[in-house]
Amino acid sequence: MVVDMIISNLPTNANDSTRAGVTFNSPELDSNEFVALSITPITRINAESIVRSMELMTQSNKSPLELQKPRLEIVIKYLIPPDRKWKKKKSIHHQGRDGEQLFREGDSTELRR
């Protein structure tokens, strides 16, 4: 079910290298404790990895898998790395040794395409 939620809520600009992280909270866990699935490529997220993460990353004695009222708040965060190549751009204001700086396309509206 969680894997389906991750896939069905992919951002429209997702690409092949999109990653997702999931945080699980519950009223039964302390407010400063949570369980999370670290940022992982979406192609490698499966039910087994989520359950394993819930077992291993619990920061209290109470596992989310053993809650009395199995209600979880699930927060999904997506990381979409740029899929563009590095370009060199002449810098007017701040010049390096050779007068060029590296910028990733899309970092600035001043970049030439």
Contact between residue 31 and residue 72 where contact means Cβ atoms under 8 Å apart? no
- Which residue, among 47, 63, 67, 44, has the nearest Cα to 55 in the 3D structure? 63
Model confidence over 12-33: pLDDT tens digits?
888 888 999 888 777 776 666 6
Whether residue 59 has pLDDT greater than 60: no
Whether residue 84 has pLDDT greater than 70: no
